Structure 1
């Protein structure tokens, strides 16, 4: 028995909100890819790809759950709509947990970056992966070292040289003896730039999460109303 009256309006509203929710899932996938590309430049930081991968996974889950909600609303399927509401509730709980962890981590970001940069610089001459990551980072962000070029004081025995990736015009051995030569190399460190990049990415994630959370709560309310209407229809039959 098809729902009528106000319940029918709720049915179409639920379909509409699920379509918006489906678009949000798609947007999260795109955002995750963009964040992944942005974080690729900070690969020197351990686990820097984690947030991007998490966003993509959440986007995929939302994408399919929204599809389930759309199908349930169109077919007036009690089981599908109920399952949709349950999954949506679980996602909101997970999002709250992640938001708490993110807020706690935000205060420790500077210390984490500082330690990871120290480890990366210390391992520059012994690890090809770290060397490539730091060189790519310094060239991309036009910076040198963590806080300044002085961080490379132990780069070699002369204690006055930096990697060639610090040079404004990179050529072979251009960093030799140039640790304080502002005309030849970038003096400013990379850490503050990376921190700003990560904070900006986290801000966009937070804004996106708030928008999606509003849609999720609306979807849950509409799903509960439609589920009740469908059940009432079955009882009448």
Structure 2
């Protein structure tokens, strides 16, 4: 009876784990969409390493949702094949996440360089309507002006800076470049600081998900052993 009760506990713990795992998948999807909207939505970054990161996060979140649903069904129905498949998929996801974390650390400088290059190219082509909208959106969001500072606009514009640099945006306000009218600090450093601040949150979410995954693998292995041994888990 003790063993049967223990296995029943494992079954319900695994079910709860998969529910939390499903929530973590939703969290990843939300994070991926926010990053995609915040950065790639304002600048069309051509680097695969930089532009693909949020897409990979979204894809992993979708896969996690699928795997969590699979694990819930396997645990509730006490299906050895489904629980085994769930365990294998969870281990593979865990390994992929480790590889992605290592790749992100290795290519972090390339991502920053790609973003800086794209920002400067977008500024150079500001007169094109699409690029103007992109750079204006970014400058309004981060309350900045230019790449390094507002003077980056002087070679490109003869009558001041874009109106999106203004503290209070009004028509032609960018012609007055005094500090009380426009933001004089550059965007690149502010964006780098934003990425640096938010990487701590991303790392915390990733660590929490990794802990859930390890617990899930342990629960699944114990449940597999119980099912294979023929113990009844009700």
Q: Deviations over 1:112-168 (max 9, x none)?
A: 33322221111212x322111111111222211011011112113x4x622222223
**Residue 161 (structure 1) aligns with:** 160
**Residue 174 (structure 2) aligns with:** 175
**Residue 17 (structure 1) aligns with:** 17
Distance in 1 between residues matched to 2:108 and 2:137, nearest whole Å: 25
Q: Given that residues 26 and 61 in structure 2 are in contact (C-alpha distance below 8 angstroms), is that contact kept between their aligned partners in structure 1?
A: yes
TM-score w.r.t. structure 2 length?
Answer: 0.85
CA RMSD for the aligned pairs? 2.4
CA 1:11/1:80 → structure 2, altered by over 3 Å: closer, same or farther?
same
Unaligned runs of 5+ in 2: none
Q: Given that residues 167 and 185 in structure 1 are in contact (C-alpha distance below 8 angstroms), is that contact kept between their aligned partners in structure 2?
A: yes
Q: Given that residues 72 and 80 in structure 1 are in contact (C-alpha distance below 8 angstroms), is that contact kept between their aligned partners in structure 2?
A: yes
Distance in 1 between residues matched to 2:167 and 2:5, nearest whole Å: 70
Structure 1 residue 46: deviation in Å? 4.2
Distance in 2 between residues matched to 1:161 and 1:24, nearest whole Å: 47
Distance in 2 between residues matched to 1:7 and 1:197, nearest whole Å: 46
Structure 1 residue 214: deviation in Å? 0.8
Q: Given that residues 43 and 118 in structure 2 are in contact (C-alpha distance below 8 angstroms), is that contact kept between their aligned partners in structure 1?
A: no
Aligned: 1:189 with 2:186: yes
Alignment of 1:53-132 (within 5 A): 53-125=55-127, 127-132=128-133
Q: Given that residues 83 and 224 in structure 2 are in contact (C-alpha distance below 8 angstroms), is that contact kept between their aligned partners in structure 1?
A: yes
Structure 1 residue 52: deviation in Å? 3.0
More helix by share: 2
CA 1:43/1:118 → structure 2, altered by over 3 Å: closer, same or farther?
closer
Structure 1 residue 67: deviation in Å? 1.2
CA 1:114/1:38 → structure 2, altered by over 3 Å: closer, same or farther?
closer
Structure 1 residue 28: deviation in Å? 2.3
TM-score w.r.t. structure 1 length?
Answer: 0.84
Higher mean C-alpha displacement, 144-153 vs 163-172: 163-172
Structure 1 residue 110: deviation in Å? 3.9
> Quick one: which of 217, 225, 229 aligns to 1:228?
225
Distance in 1 between residues matched to 2:215 and 2:170, nearest whole Å: 58
Aligned: 1:205 with 2:206: no
